[in-house]
Structure 1
Amino acid sequence: MFNALIVEKDDDGNTHAGVKQIGLDDLPHADVTVAVEYSTVNYKDGLCLGPGGGLVRHYPHVPGIDFAGTVEQSDDDRYKPGDKVVLTGWRVGEAHWGGYSQKARVKADWLVPLPEGLDTRQAMAVGTAGFTAMLAVMALEDHGLQPGHGPVLVTGAAGGVGSVATAILAHLGHEVAAVTGRPEQEAYLRDLGASRIVPRADLAETVKRPLESEEWTGCVDAVGGAMLARVLGQMKYGASVAAVGLAGGAALPATVVPFLLRGVNLLGIDSVMQPYDNRLRAWQRIARDLPMDKLEAMVQPATLSDLPGLGEDILKGQVRGRVVVDVNA
């Protein structure tokens, strides 16, 4: 028997999350059984833990959209007992049981080997948020982003994706302008490498003009909505925005003018269904280009029993940086 955070729904449609003991026979049927060491808290986890269960399809359910640990048993030749592995995406934690458990059973196709230079705790300090941030940086680079060409904007900079993106971009030599609605986070963001702090209010409303002064050579946007629309009109000629989130809303009250007159690119970043080769590329870049001291500064430790409260906090935008969940604590 081992511990897992189980979300259940009662006859009235209300969900309840709590730590319970389950056995191997309770786990889904799949190729690889992993002894989970660490997981994290992401916005999707907050939705799955919250009222109504958000993205969950069936109950009872184990959330946790990512985890890192050690293979215990494998029916697939790619993995053997003792291998260190990482999982992000593939709707694990939503449609499939996830990482908020001391053991997980998943398809081999969903795993990647833990990259050299990272341990399992560091991998989950990165987690889905950091993996997404690196995918965004790589997409911007693939579309011409280079250090020294001007400031790169990061919206929602104190959140998980934004924190890692800020640290990576600064480490690569970019001038980073960090957007936040929490003035108390300025010292934290500057420690990550931000050279400029942009108050959220400066970008929170759309303007009638479809184009403003060219200011940003790139952008990692975790907010969407009116802020993304505003940022599109401020991008330099040929610059790109990597869209990674919708904390500010899914609607985009924008015009096509920035795309037509300035050749701006809007790049959609999906971390869930990324092909295996690009996953490996991103994790290798993380091991190389994310300063571990900066990563550690983002970390808030947690246990399984802390998760219901943290799920509420992340939905309210009250979680800074990265939460690392020690499922065995």
Structure 2
Amino acid sequence: MKAFVVQKSEDKKFNSSIEEIKIPTIEEKEVLIKAQYSSLNYKDALSSIGNPGVTRIFPHVTGIDVAGVIEESQSPLFKKGDEVLVTGYDLGMNTNGGHSEYVKVPASWVVSKPEGISLKELMVYGTAGLTAALSVNELIHNGVEPEDGEILVTGATGGVGSIAVSILKKLGFKVVAISGKADKIPFLNELGAHEVILRQDFDVENKKPMVSERFAGVIDTVGGNILAEALKAIKYDGVATCCGLTSSFELHTNVFPFILRGVRLIGIDSVECTLEKKAAAWEKLSHEFKINTLEALTTEINLDQVKEAYEQLLAGKAVGRYLVKID
């Protein structure tokens, strides 16, 4: 079968290419998926250059997402022909991932395709869409409503951010987006942002422990000083979610927003969260959260174009989502 394989050379350098490799053999409680679609995420790009925090086993097939049809099953949970998807867990990290024609995974990682959505749409969402849905869910579950005020979305041209903007708009929220790409302001307006703040205008260290209340909630995808400054501007009883670190993994903040305004900061993990929680989020994305901007935020590629797309992701030039057509 064809797969996008990352190899580690003797001098500890990494190279990647499309290779013909053996179709994996499944064992008890495993399934073999004939892949139809995958996607690209920042974590995939890191894996492709041998980032040790993501992948340590080589040769390695990237792809933390996959959607397709069960080809073979050694589990009572699934049968041949079932339409399914897998995101997170160890897929595409140290377990060969979705950028191949066939994918072997434990049945315990697999979610059945919900009604009302296609395999292609599922992979346009992918891990980014799942993370966005989990983030929006946390705002709603913690009492944030459209009439409470604006929601700030950071890293808004990225996968998680762009989908979050669209979901929030659909649900009736007024969205303010932060992006470092001035030329993508029309794109963000099309997705549903009523205002766009350029990153350089927001990512400024302010020594004040708090600023005027503005945002009812924040969906942060970048971390670092941007999140620190966003926390200072959240309204009383507001909520911020945090799911990314493309700006920085460090957070230098103070306790005043938390103890004087009752602000809550909630971490979002879409990798190891329970299968039940993932399935519920996919149901939301198939119905209540389903957006009509998928085509506008998607670039479709094939396996031969994955390497070039990784370069765009690593350079911070990617916009929206990359959908990888496998078959």
How far apart are 1:202 and its partner, in Å? 2.3
Partner of 1:74: 73
Partner of 2:236: 237
Q: Tell me, yes or no, if the aligned pair for 1:30 and 1:105 is still in contact at 8 Å.
A: no
1:139 aligned partner, one-letter code: E
How far apart are 1:26 and its partner, in Å? 6.9
CA distance in 2: counterparts of 1:96 and 1:305, whole angstroms: 21
SS of the equivalent of 2:147 reads coil
How far apart are 1:257 and its partner, in Å? 1.2
SS of the equivalent of 2:285 reads helix
Q: Tell me, yes or no, if the aligned pair for 1:39 and 1:99 is still in contact at 8 Å.
A: yes
1:284 aligns with 2:283: yes
Partner of 1:250: 249
How far apart are 1:57 and its partner, in Å? 1.5
How far apart are 1:290 and its partner, in Å? 3.7
Alignment of 1:181-220 (within 5 A): 181-220=180-219
Partner of 2:225: 226
Q: How has the CA–CA distance of structure 1 residues 52 and 275 changed in structure 2, closer, same or farther, with 3 Å as cutoff?
A: closer
CA distance in 2: counterparts of 1:24 and 1:173, whole angstroms: 47
Partner of 1:323: 322
Partner of 1:116: 115
Q: Tell me, yes or no, if the aligned pair for 1:64 and 1:98 is still in contact at 8 Å.
A: yes
Partner of 1:142: 141
- Structure 1 regions of 5+ residues with no counterpart? none
How far apart are 1:258 and its partner, in Å? 0.8
SS of the equivalent of 2:55 reads coil
Q: Tell me, yes or no, if the aligned pair for 2:284 and 2:290 is still in contact at 8 Å.
A: no
CA distance in 2: counterparts of 1:27 and 1:99, whole angstroms: 16
How far apart are 1:277 and its partner, in Å? 1.4
Aligned residues with identical type, % of pairs: 37
Q: How has the CA–CA distance of structure 1 residues 200 and 303 changed in structure 2, closer, same or farther, with 3 Å as cutoff?
A: same
Please identify, of 180-189 and 19-28, the stretch whose mean Cα deviation from structure 2 is larger: 19-28
Q: Tell me, yes or no, if the aligned pair for 1:168 and 1:289 is still in contact at 8 Å.
A: no
Q: Tell me, yes or no, if the aligned pair for 2:166 and 2:291 is still in contact at 8 Å.
A: no
Q: How has the CA–CA distance of structure 1 residues 184 and 222 changed in structure 2, closer, same or farther, with 3 Å as cutoff?
A: same
Partner of 2:31: 32
CA distance in 1: counterparts of 2:27 and 2:298, whole angstroms: 31
CA distance in 2: counterparts of 1:327 and 1:216, whole angstroms: 41
Q: How has the CA–CA distance of structure 1 residues 26 and 319 changed in structure 2, closer, same or farther, with 3 Å as cutoff?
A: farther
CA distance in 2: counterparts of 1:8 and 1:186, whole angstroms: 39
CA distance in 2: counterparts of 1:147 and 1:52, whole angstroms: 40
2:19 aligned partner, one-letter code: K
How many residue pairs match? The answer is: 327
1:44 aligned partner, one-letter code: K
SS of the equivalent of 1:319 reads coil
Q: How has the CA–CA distance of structure 1 residues 222 and 25 changed in structure 2, closer, same or farther, with 3 Å as cutoff?
A: closer
SS of the equivalent of 1:87 reads strand
1:59 aligns with 2:44: no
SS of the equivalent of 1:295 reads coil
Q: How has the CA–CA distance of structure 1 residues 75 and 305 changed in structure 2, closer, same or farther, with 3 Å as cutoff?
A: same
Provide, for residues 128-178 of structure 1, a one-character-per-residue CA deviation record: whole Å limited to 9, x for no partner.
Answer: 001000000001111111112100000000100000000000000000001
Partner of 1:16: 15
Provide, for residues 19-51 of structure 1, a one-character-per-residue CA deviation record: whole Å limited to 9, x for no partner.
Answer: 111122478986100000001110000101125
CA distance in 2: counterparts of 1:199 and 1:136, whole angstroms: 22
Q: How has the CA–CA distance of structure 1 residues 160 and 11 changed in structure 2, closer, same or farther, with 3 Å as cutoff?
A: same
Provide, for residues 57-109 of structure 1, a one-character-per-residue CA deviation record: whole Å limited to 9, x for no partner.
Answer: 11111110011000011111111111110111002100211101000000011
CA RMSD of aligned residues (A): 1.4
CA distance in 2: counterparts of 1:170 and 1:91, whole angstroms: 32
Partner of 2:125: 126
Q: Tell me, yes or no, if the aligned pair for 2:28 and 2:75 is still in contact at 8 Å.
A: no
CA distance in 2: counterparts of 1:118 and 1:161, whole angstroms: 19
Provide, for residues 282-327 of structure 1, a one-character-per-residue CA deviation record: whole Å limited to 9, x for no partner.
Answer: 0011011344431111110111111112112112211110100011
Given the two structures, how large is their TM-score scaled by the length of structure 1? 0.96
Partner of 2:41: 42
Partner of 1:305: 304
CA distance in 2: counterparts of 1:127 and 1:138, whole angstroms: 17
1:272 aligned partner, one-letter code: V
Q: Tell me, yes or no, if the aligned pair for 1:50 and 1:312 is still in contact at 8 Å.
A: no
Given the two structures, how large is their TM-score scaled by the length of structure 2? 0.97
Partner of 2:83: 84
